Amino acid sequence: MSRLEFPPVDEQLRIIRRGAAEVIVEAELAQKLERSRQARTPLRVKLGLDPTAPDLHLGHTVVLRKLRDFQDLGHQVIVIIGDFTGMIGDPTGRSETRKPLTPDEIRTNADTYRAQLGKVVDMSRARVELNSTWLAPLTFEGIIRETAHLTVARMLQREDFAARYAAERPISLHEFLYPIAQAYDSVALRADVELGGTDQTFNLLVGRDLQRAHGQEPQIAVTVPLLEGLDGVQKMSKSYGNYVGINERPDDVFGKLMSVSDAMMWRYFELLTRVPEAEISALRAGHPMEAKKHLARVITAQYHGDPAAAEAAEHFARVHQHREDPEEIERARVSGGASPVWRVLKEAGLVSSTSEARRMIQQGAVEVDHQRVTSTDETLMPGKEYLIQVGKRRFKRVLLEGPRV
């Protein structure tokens, strides 16, 4: 499809609606799409990313998939790296003031982001902008003029600001500037559409306000849900340990996705893939295990390619379904003589702490030579190599040596 040839508006809206939480305002978007189609001119679709963390996980890709939808429809996507706003720190969802990033941290994270974005977005057809380009030159007079377009009452409509104000927790004045700075990005780019998670709704709407104040047609705000993690409860986050990193090994991506609940996997299909809806309906009619394998294979292939996804599927079947040992298993040495299993787990690097070791044993998640460990008091004797498994994916051959002399 040529970049200047667009599908019918109804078809575009159907694709845009998939996985979207809200489109504000859909009737206005339809008008923009029709004008774009008639004029054979793409819409400018903006996504801002503050480089606050160097590694992307599947939760981040929900909005990136939506950005790719617009790109595949022929529109111009613009990725804004918030090198300037990153020095303020996005207060969204915060119960306290966020620590700003240093310029060095921002540069390092931004470089990593660029490399990872290409796994979802066609970066050869995307514009990448740094918002310091237009925010850094603003004078103090210019900032005052922009703040005059919004009231304190409007800012306190944000749930996180309102909650902190009611609880008498500090709100730094610079945090009020963040939504204004993000909104000014939309003014500078004359954005037609801005994307963000549902937690960004307020910021996106401030963009509409500021564009009106500058005599521009307000942008459309398209929000996407915050993806629940592997536990199906908390949002996907490294801090909760319920995430799937897009740069993780294919075996780990596949294995983690196989742990998703049967109910949650359909949400993953909708938000993380573009498997046709008719195909998803057919999968619903079949066995959940086969549907989950398909989900895991599709997502693994998105980030590592079909051959790696096929190998990951074979690895999962061999190790977790047929109970065969992995083909390659790391080896470790632990000294100290006869030792309780929990100590061996910690010293071999199979767990990060003694408390985790004890917890995994109590949960029945530890096997030694294919025998489940049932007590934290169980002891291993020196002079032997043991095959130890923790959970579904962690294996090591551990040689337990005698005590050091």
Two structure tokens written together for 48: 């801002």
Contact 202, 179 (CB under 8 A): yes
DSSP string, 3-53: TT----HHHHHHHHHTT-SEEETHHHHHHHHHHHHHHT---EEEEEE----
Whether residue 296 sits in one domain with residue 186: no
Tell me the C-alpha distance between 357 and 346, whole Å: 7
Q: Where among 191, 224, 257 does a domain terminate?
A: 224
Whether residue 177 sits in one domain with residue 115: yes
Is 230 part of any domain?
A: no
Tell me the C-alpha distance between 190 and 101, whole Å: 27
Give me the pLDDT at residue 107, please.
Answer: 77
Q: Where among 321, 351, 367 does a domain terminate?
A: 321
Whether residue 193 sits in one domain with residue 61: yes
Whether residue 180 sits in one domain with residue 70: yes
Tell me the C-alpha distance between 46 and 119, whole Å: 18
Domain that holds residue 73: 9-224
**Is 312 a residue whose pLDDT tops 70?**
yes
Give me the number of domains the chain comprises: 3
Give me the pLDDT at residue 89, please.
Answer: 62
User: Once rounded to an integer, what is the mean pLDDT over residues 70-88?
Assistant: 89
Give me the pLDDT at residue 102, please.
Answer: 75
Whether residue 50 sits in one domain with residue 143: yes
Whether residue 315 sits in one domain with residue 343: no
CATH of the domain at 261: 1.10.240.10
Whether residue 270 sits in one domain with residue 290: yes
Whether residue 168 sits in one domain with residue 141: yes
Tokens 């801005």 — which residue?
194
DSSP string, 173-199: HHHHHHHHHHHHHHHHHT-SEEEEEGG
Tokens 């086969």 — which residue?
290
What's the whole-number average pLDDT of the chain?
86
Surface-to-core class of residue 33, CB atoms within 10 Å of its CB (0-12 exposed, 13-18 middle, 19+ buried): buried
CATH of the domain at 118: 3.40.50.620
Surface-to-core class of residue 102, CB atoms within 10 Å of its CB (0-12 exposed, 13-18 middle, 19+ buried): exposed
Whether residue 98 sits in one domain with residue 162: yes
Give me the pLDDT at residue 403, please.
Answer: 67
pTM reported for the whole predicted model: 0.74
Give me the pLDDT at residue 12, please.
Answer: 96
Highest mean pLDDT among 54-63, 267-276, 371-380: 267-276
Is 87 part of any domain?
A: yes
Nearest to 315 by CA among 303, 300, 302: 300
Give me the pLDDT at residue 394, please.
Answer: 82
Contact 379, 341 (CB under 8 A): yes
Q: Where among 258, 292, 321 does a domain terminate?
A: 321
Whether residue 277 sits in one domain with residue 215: no
**Tens digit of pLDDT for each residue in 82-120?**
888 877 665 555 445 556 677 787 777 777 777 788 889
Give me the pLDDT at residue 53, please.
Answer: 65
**Tens digit of pLDDT for each residue in 15-66?**
999 999 999 999 999 999 999 999 999 999 999 987 776 678 999 999 999 9
Give me the pLDDT at residue 2, please.
Answer: 45
Whether residue 264 sits in one domain with residue 184: no
Identify which has the larger pLDDT, 382 or 273: 273
**Is 1 a residue whose pLDDT tops 50?**
no
Is 283 part of any domain?
A: yes
Per this entry, what is the length of the chain? Answer: 405
Whether residue 358 sits in one domain with residue 298: no
The 3-class SS string of the chain reads CCCCCCCCHHHHHHHHHCCCCEEECHHHHHHHHHHHHHHCCCCEEEEEECCCCCCCEHHHHHHHHHHHHHHHCCCEEEEEECCCHHHCCCCCCCCCCCCCCCHHHHHHHHHHHHHHHCCCCCHHHCEEEECHHHHCCCCHHHHHHHHCCCCHHHHCCCHHHHHHHHCCCCCCHHHHHHHHHHHHHHHHHCCCEEEEEHHHHHHHHHHHHHHHHCCCCCCEEEEECCCECCCCCCECCHHHCCCCECCCCHHHHHHHHCCCCHHHHHHHHHHHCCCCHHHHHHHHCCCHHHHHHHHHHHHHHHHHCHHHHHHHHHHHHHHHHCCCCCCCCCEEEECCCCEEHHHHHHHCCCCCCHHHHHHHHHCCCEEECCEECCCCCCEECCCEEEEEEECCCEEEEEEECCCCC
User: Once rounded to an integer, what is the mean pLDDT over residues 271-300?
Assistant: 93
Give me the pLDDT at residue 91, please.
Answer: 56
